[in-house]
Amino acid sequence: MAVGWDCDGRAESAVCEDAAQEALVLERFWQESRGATLVGFNCLGFDLPVLLRRSLYLGVPAPLVVLNKYRPGAIVDLMQRLAYQGTLPYRSLGFYCTRVRITVPDAVTGAAIGQLVAAGAWRQVHDHVRADVAKTVALARRVGIIAHVNETPTPAVWHGSTAAAAVRSVRTDSRATDLAFPKPVPQFLERQARRACQQAHERRENDTVRKRSGGRCEVVLGGMRCRKAAREVHHLLGGRGRGASALATHKVHTCAMHHRLMTLRWIAVTWATPENPLASIHFEQVRGTSGVTDG
């Protein structure tokens, strides 16, 4: 196995000729990549699965890594990024380097690695790994991935079994997670966070409505404003408190009776116009109200 990485322009690589060396390199890799954002080429589809499987075989403790191209967390796979997660055809690292004029000397192709390993040509394998690292770093810089990682960098990794691509990382708060690569936020937690924001916005708008009313029902019916104490904040628009429905300008502070009449649609609001900007608190009777009392 060969693994290479780059940090702040300092490239490193390791070629393992036996299982003992491989276990040491894997252990070092998982330790140094803890809490880092990693950048590689086809790392989700090849490098990380190989590293995880070799760690399993050799008894090297490995963290939980999320291999999900749609929600990769703190992992950037340039192959997926440049193909827009499969929207466009997948291309090789060499293809993109040629297209954007990245030139890195490399006399060895990936297809020849197996023959070089069988022949014991470890020096050539090592040179190919370092070339792949340089290509991936240059490509990540060209597409702006490295430029966006502007925190304190730390070592990182790529390419698993026979060749290594480049890596760039950024340290995260180690107290926040014990994972080498922080998992993406679960969708149900994202929904909870959105609901919490909506509820906080709703409360602020409701407070504005209550201050505006002064505690008195805001309904104006037949040219006269209700004198009863306001108890309910009524939404004048549908939407369950989202969007325009949550705004104070689309709510009215009402007494219990008028709140019920609006709920039953026995009275309807007269919407504001440029000539009458306060019409949003004026109502008109659209159905009979006999038998309705303020409970």
3-state secondary structure of 67: coil
Cα–Cα distance for residue pair 70/74, rounded to 1 Å: 12
Tokens 């990549």 correspond to 33
Cα–Cα distance for residue pair 158/211, rounded to 1 Å: 59
Please tell me the predicted confidence (pLDDT) of residue 232. 92
Q: Which two tokens stand for residue 23?
A: 């276990």
Please tell me the predicted confidence (pLDDT) of residue 67. 84
Question: At CA 212, angle to CA 211 and CA 213, rounded to 5?
Answer: 95
Please tell me the predicted confidence (pLDDT) of residue 216. 93
Please tell me the predicted confidence (pLDDT) of residue 117. 76
Q: Which residues pair with 7 in a beta bridge?
A: 10
Please tell me the predicted confidence (pLDDT) of residue 8. 62
Low-confidence ranges of the chain (pLDDT < 50): 148-181, 290-295
Give the global pTM: 0.50
Please tell me the predicted confidence (pLDDT) of residue 230. 93
**Dmax of the chain from CA atoms?**
98
DSSP secondary structure of 43-86: IIIIIHHHHHHHHHHHT---------SSS-SSEEEHHHHHTTTT
